[in-house]
Amino acid sequence: MPKYLLLKHYQVGPDSPAADFAPMDEWSADEVAAHIDFQREVGRVLTESGEFVDAQALTEQGAWVRYGGPDAAPVVTDGPFPETKELIAGWFIIDVESEARAHEVAAWVSSAPGKGGEPIYEWLEVRPVMDDAPADE
């Protein structure tokens, strides 16, 4: 079965520079908990159906890192980063029968509750995972 990566962005979509829902830092603790509980339920259901591979949430902290050379340490800097709305908030990796099923799962994940318990209808980026990597010769 093909694997798909469902990327959750903080606040961006293809038809607007920012999402139509309040950012998580404006949600109450109960609203955040309901959102996380929803994500866990998605993982539970997908595990039962044999479609779940992995899911992770990410913090806004991070670093840029690149190769420093054969005799050097990695080059690391804490910014500048793109605006928060452009950062990845988390992901699901699913193993499903078809691209259509990946889209169904992404649509379900998009309905997670946000501020006021209302579905946020966030855009998710759906990308196939490369399964035919070139062989070493």
Q: Tell me: the pLDDT tens digits for 95-121?
A: 999 999 999 999 999 999 999 999 988
Give me 111's structure tokens. 């309905």
51-97: pLDDT as tens digits: 999 999 888 777 888 898 999 999 898 776 665 445 688 999 999 99
Q: What mean pLDDT do residues 127-132 have?
A: 86
For every residue of 1-51, which 3-state class applies, written as one string? Answer: CCEEEEEEECCCECCECCCCCCCHHHCCHHHHHHHHHHHHHHHHHHHHCCC
Fold of 3-128: Alpha-Beta Plaits (3.30.70)
Q: Which carries the bigger pLDDT value, residue 19 or residue 72?
A: 72
Q: Residue 82: its pLDDT value, please?
A: 61
The pLDDT assigned to 109 comes to 94
